[in-house]
Structure formats: C-alpha cells, structure tokens
Amino acid sequence: MKQILSFACLVVLMIGTTAAWMQSQQAQPKPYKVAFDLTSSDPLDQKAVMRWIKEVSGVNPKNEMEVVMYGRGLDLVVSGKSTMASDIAEAMKMTNVKFNACAIAMKNQQVEKSQLLPNVGIVPDGIGELVAKQNAGWGYIKVGH
C-alpha cells in the first residue's frame, strides 16, 4: 500500500511540475527581432510605433526592435518637432530598442545630427537598413494607423 501511495504522490508531483513548466513556456514566447518603418509625421503613426514598442517589449523583454525613420518620419526624433521626446527617451533606456534616422533623409531635409534627440543613431540609407534587417531575419512592420 505504501508503494502505491508513494507512486501516486510521485505521479501528482510530475504532473504538477510538467504543467508549471508548460505554463512558463507559454507565458513568454521565443524572442524575435522586428524593424519598424516610419515615414510619416502623422502623430497617430508616431503614437502607434511607440505603443507597439511597449507592447512588443511587454510580450518578451528580450525582443529586439529598431525604428527606422526616413522621409517625414524624421520628425519623431528631431528636437523642436518631436512631441514624443520623453517617450523616446524612456524607450531607449531599454537595451533592445534603437531609433535610427536615415542620413539621406537628413540631408534632403537639412537636418544635422545635433538636431536629433539624444542617442538617436544614423544609418546611411533607411531603406537599405530595412532591407538588411529583413535579410538578417528581422520582421518588417510598416507603421500606419
């Protein structure tokens, strides 16, 4: 009888451990990498990308994100034009989030590096950056609302 009781306890323990392990695996999906393509100065698009950063990070804090801005999307990170500077600063505290401005767009719009918000990177070509990210296995999301 003691053997049956011991075996039953072992089975219950194994089932509980397996269930807990399966739940932990479902709670935090495998990390992924995503590049956001922002070409609009529309405040709704800017709010959308900032919301997505929070949501994607909330699913798994190891997810990597990069916002690539070209065209009118530069307005998100230009001092004096950005209405989301504090949100961007907060997002960039996460090591897995980057904001990169396109050098071609900066030249076309006569924006100097000194006009960008702190810690915003510059890539030579925004479209090229997005293509390179996709070739490296990153997901691609065009920002829109």
For residues 64 and 6, membership in a common domain is answered with no
For residues 65 and 125, membership in a common domain is answered with yes
For residues 69 and 128, membership in a common domain is answered with yes
112: its two tokens = 């100097």
Stated pTM of the model: 0.80
Question: By the 8 A CB rule, do 49 and 81 touch?
Answer: no
Q: Any idea which residue has 């039953």 for tokens?
A: 8
The per-residue pLDDT for range 74-129, each reduced to its tens digit, is: 999 999 999 999 999 999 999 999 999 999 999 999 999 999 999 999 999 999 99
Structural domain including 96 reads 31-142
The per-residue pLDDT for range 45-84, each reduced to its tens digit, is: 999 999 999 999 999 999 999 999 999 999 999 999 999 9
For residues 23 and 41, membership in a common domain is answered with no
For residues 50 and 19, membership in a common domain is answered with no
d(CA 39, CA 15) in angstroms, rounded, equals: 51
Tell me how many domains the chain contains: 2
